[in-house]
């Protein structure tokens, strides 16, 4: 993707400081639910949506195949539990159902955000369909036929899977720019990654630190599009994000990332981004 986290922090200096609600920090004792396969993921995603309807203090505003968000009242005087859930692809092909719960004020709210996250993880994991195991090859096929099928699949599947993994990862990075979740940055940036922003260069360690410090007044960032060109174990991804800040200011990140497959894992080794002009809200 791009140094989106670093871009967002740079823009904070332009936009000014603002007190914003904080996401629940730390690692929950109950693991993040994961799913494999269409039925398993559909069951857990449905359970996640149902949980937000039953437990969040605000109605669902954004509901898509990989993101569910509650309404943003844009006011710190209201008290209630807000939530966002994303479906994030993992290196092994599974998906993590990652939830964020936080209070729409600077103080604690009821129900408790941390305890709600624990309960969410348990509830969604329990809703899995149980079809996560891969189907074995039919035993009646002769070994030669099986090997031929496997070779054909290995020739065709990597390009499709790599393109999907990269696009999903780019979308996850875009979403993570508006939280203090550094897990996506840690996963998709190679240790030797170089990130370029407005003529300056930085590295993975700085990007991770910036992500952990939080987004300032950036309240949302969503992927508009991503195109991926594959060249063997190298891929070039180019795309654009749309961001929104407190006060309604919006704008875009336009970016180009270079991905390399090493030891079976795709990671970004070079990223470059530009901050497009801010769109002024209408009257």
- Who's near 116: CB < 8 A, 6+ residues apart? 55, 81, 101
* pLDDT reading at 111 higher than 90: no
115-154 pLDDT per residue, tens: 899 999 999 999 986 544 433 333 333 444 434 434 443 4
The region of weakest confidence among 156-160, 194-198, 211-215, 252-256 is 156-160
- Please tell me the predicted confidence (pLDDT) of residue 25: 44
Percentage of the chain exceeding pLDDT 90: 29
Burial of 135 (0-12, 13-18, 19+ CB in 10 A): exposed
The residue ranges of every structural domain in the chain are 4-137+158-275
Fold of 4-137+158-275: Nuclear Transport Factor 2; Chain: A, (3.10.450)
User: What CA–CA distance (Å, rounded) separates 204 from 268?
Assistant: 10
Residue 118: CA count within 13 A, CB half-sphere: 10
Question: Looking at residue 161, what is its pLDDT?
Answer: 78
Asked if 2 contacts 198 with a C-beta cutoff of 8 angstroms, the reply is no
Query: How far is the C-alpha of 280 from the C-alpha of 283, rounded, in Å?
Result: 9
Q: Looking at 23-32, 59-68, 202-211, which range is the least confident one?
A: 23-32
Residue 134 is predicted with a pLDDT of 37
Query: pLDDT band for position 108 (50/70/90)?
Result: low
- Looking at residues 248-260, what average pLDDT do you find? 92
Predicted confidence (pLDDT) at residue 228 exceeds the cutoff of 90: yes
Q: Which residue has the higher pLDDT, 253 or 198?
A: 253
């Amino acid at each position: 993707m791009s140094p989106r986290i670093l871009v967002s922090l740079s823009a904070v200096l332009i936009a000014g400081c603002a007190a914003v609600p904080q996401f629940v920090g730390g690692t929950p004792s109950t693991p993040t639910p994961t799913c494999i396969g269409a039925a398993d993921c559909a069951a857990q995603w449905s359970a996640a949506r149902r949980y937000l309807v039953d437990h969040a203090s605000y109605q669902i505003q954004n509901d898509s195949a990989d993101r569910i968000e509650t309404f943003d009242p844009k006011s710190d005087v209201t008290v209630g539990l807000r939530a966002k859930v994303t479906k994030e692809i993992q290196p092994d092909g599974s998906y993590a159902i990652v939830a964020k719960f936080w209070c729409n004020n600077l103080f604690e709210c009821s129900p408790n955000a941390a305890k709600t996250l624990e309960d969410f993880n348990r509830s969604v994991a329990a809703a899995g369909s149980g079809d996560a195991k891969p189907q074995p090859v039919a035993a009646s096929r002769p070994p030669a036929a099986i090997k031929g099928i496997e070779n054909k699949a290995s020739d065709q599947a990597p390009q499709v899977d790599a393109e999907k993994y990269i696009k999903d990862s780019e979308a996850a990075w875009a979403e993570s720019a508006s939280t203090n979740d550094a897990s996506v940055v840690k996963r998709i940036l190679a240790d030797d990654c170089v990130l370029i922003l407005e003529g300056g260069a930085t590295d993975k360690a700085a990007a991770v630190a910036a992500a952990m410090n939080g987004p300032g007044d950036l309240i949302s960032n969503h992927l508009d599009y991503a195109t991926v060109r594959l060249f063997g174990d190298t891929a070039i991804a180019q795309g654009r994000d749309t961001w929104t800040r407190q006060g309604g200011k919006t704008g875009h990140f336009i970016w180009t990332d270079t991905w390399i497959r090493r030891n079976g894992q795709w990671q970004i080794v070079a990223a470059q981004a530009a901050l497009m002009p801010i769109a002024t809200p209408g009257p």
